[in-house]
Structure 1
Amino acid sequence: MQENRMNQSSTGLLRMTDDDRPFSKDLEDLFSTLTVSLMPLSAHRVRFTKVDYTFLSEDAIRNLGSLKFSQSNRMPNPKDPSRIITTTTTTTFSMSKDMGRDERDSAGVKIASERRINGGLYHNTFTGKAGIDWLMENSTTIDWREAIEVAGLFVQHNLIEQVLRDQELSSLFSDSKLFQSSKGALYRLTPRGKALISSNSLSRSASQNKGEVASQHYSTKDSNTHRLDKILTEPTLRLLFRENLQEMHCEENLSFYLEVDEFIRSCKAATRDLQQSSDTASSDKAKELLALSYGIYNAYLAPGSPRELNIHHQLRRSLASRMTKASAEDNTITDVLHEVTSLFEDAQSAVFKLMTSDSVPKFLQNPKYGYQVANAGLHY
């Protein structure tokens, strides 16, 4: 039995719903690929406890920078059952280290200026539960018991103090802990804790001011947007950039960008010609461009297309709605071309941003192209 092989590759970004939640299928693929990349799982020590079958967060963050998920399907050739067709799909997930780390800009635990409880008035306090929730959400603690131990250290080192004890919790658990993780326990910052926060805030402000001053020494020419513009306009750099994209399995981004760039220029010229003259030649040119738009859409933007791009679902929906409608309907061909061109420009802009944030840094940091990058003045 003979076997034919087909391969296709794509670069995947998590698609988001209207309420900014990731698509379940994309999230599951990303999770399963990450898990496989971390195998075999081993034992790690978390403070005083050894936990089996675990992985380090730094390993996960590093692996999230470049994950590849391959899936092969074998099926009989419908035209010739004696032949087997094997289709291998490789999806590359890529994100920056900061995105993989999911760093949060958190101001800290929400502190109430006043609380009235059982006739008592308490100022500038937070609950034990709020403190534990914040630690679980914004630190590397992986278990609520560990978070309680950390909060207990804050009490032990006189950074926070308890102002109201949860008596009900105390009666249930005879072993007294330094920190109670309930809503009924209230805590506040100590003078030492406030001084430490003030000191750190001043340090951060000084660092930010230094960063703002330093940034003034760099012009917009140092941005990745400028770098990509230069790469796209210089044939040699563009060729090397395409080669690098091929290695990262996302060449379709550049191909789409360049094809749409040419298409948009032709559309604008054809629209001007139609506005000035409605002769047969101008009308035929517009119809050719409209037909070309369907070719681009079916190659890059339609669901399941051979070189499908990962664009925002709302933009994809708008494109599908426009492209599946009758060509003219109640509109003139000029109006249709204008609408299609506008949607293509939005898709092109999304792909450009993706290349500036992900592909350009990887290209510039690839030692294989170090000489050409340095000569072009594109290095960081």
Structure 2
Amino acid sequence: MMKTTRAGRPFHRGTIELFGILMMSMQLSLHRQHFRSFPNSFTVDEAVEHLKSVRFSQCTRGSETSDPLRIMTTTRTFTFSMTRDMARAIVQHFIDARLIENATDPMQTFVKDRGIYTISHKGLHVLERFTAKNGVEYPQLPILLETQPICVKLIQLQRRSEDDDIVITRPIIHALFRRFAGTRPNYISKKSGDQDIFQKLHERSKGIVLKDFTSTGKQRHKHRCCFSAVSAMEWMCDFTSVVGREEAAEIAAQFCRFRLISLVSEDVRDEDAIVFTVRGSGPDEEKYSRGEFVCSQSAVYTVTDEGRQLLHWNATLLSTVIDSLKSKSSSSLATSESTRVDHDGTLAERRSVKESNFTRLRYVLEKPMLRSLFREFLRGSYCEENLSFWLDVGDFKRKFAVTSSVKVADDQPAGGKSHGQEAMEKHHDYLVRLGFRIYNNYLAPSCPAELSIDSRLRSDCVKFLDEVLATGRTTKAFSTQLEPEHKSAFDTSQLQRMINQYESISASVFKTMALDSIPKFCDSPTYIDAHNQLELEDSGSDIKFLTPSDETPDPDFSGIYISVSQLAGESKSGKFV
């Protein structure tokens, strides 16, 4: 039974899981409408039919307590069933949460009969985390990243377990506002219309787009750092985990409550305007007891003096940003940013810390932007296979621990097997193929990306394979590559031993990258510029980054959590946003 809120919508966690399951169950394809083609899309009817009855199976593997060498596999199967009207309401909820969008008109916010839909950039981020957490094979994801951008950093708002309401505290609102406004005023040149969808998303991700606004009263007054109420809600829906405009407006009302933004446009309380009001309680909240946010097309807000003080936006920085925009020069702006951060002490102190090469390599591998640049550096040094192998082994290990699959619930297993047994066999076959692919790509003689490793490590791996295939149920002898006929020789315990072999080689590859490649890469101007940019954006004790497997935040942490796409920048197009 799916948990729902007082308003009748599914809990956020249930929304994410059901969205991931739906996308896994469908085959995205080419659709046409009004003489236009939309690749990697689906129709409302297709989504509704899959939601009406879909089955999700998950296998987890781990060592038994009494016998660590013995691997125990547990399979769980969940079946989702709902009426057509309920399935249609779920599709509408996905649109509200900005997980999917109308392919013909992205601004369309209601389910449209015979409408064609695609996964949004926020939906791609959520889908990537879902597949990583549950070990799902989804070959369409890299294809999607070739043609459309993905939200690189998504702000994950904490929610109360009992009612799914967003947790609101002053430190959380302050931390969220700093991400909302950005490290500097985000004024964009008028020529930004020439940018592609990747660049436009990147510019918006830096913070709410600002402009100057002149009031229309008797005394015309020019306000700086302004934005419309609609654009504020759009930014919240696109770059945070809110599940609709109502939650986005409530967050904006909290900004008003803490006097970080204020309304500057006049005569906006028309018939179409909706006013969201929030209230605070407690002895320390008398100054910030109430906040209102007016939602209308004509409502314009500005960052207040109190908000600018929180952001460290002084008059000099504002003038530098606007002058830089006019002169189309970013040199003075970069100097201003560096000076401000060094004044705070954050970047200057971190630069002074001498880190080991192993620590620096871990830092590079954890940051998708740096990892993408590191891959390009290794490609130029003809050793890109080291990074690829290290990543593939890590992926193999995670999927061995948890593997999941999705199928339409109406399909019956063949051969009289149970649904759980069929899922277990399917997942095992997938893991064997992953293990074989790693060996054939990196370790087999004359393979496409053969590793340069110690001969002892290679001979140990070959010895292990000879031993398994000699005692296994296979009739084909092992020569240089693993063949499909060898799959029957590998049970779960043998796969665990294969992972152990790969991990030994992976540790050697990691050491090679740390000692040979990282010192040169970290001295390059490309790394220094990217590192400084990340330090500028992500500094602060009120921000924590989630790994792909993280799910439950620390309840004692007063700040915001950010999940980072691990696939951004890894596509062949090389577009990192």
Please give the TM-score of this superposition, normalised by the length of structure 2.
0.25
Give the structure with higher Rg (CA): 1
- Higher RCO structure, 1 or 2 (CA under 8 Å, sep 6+): 2
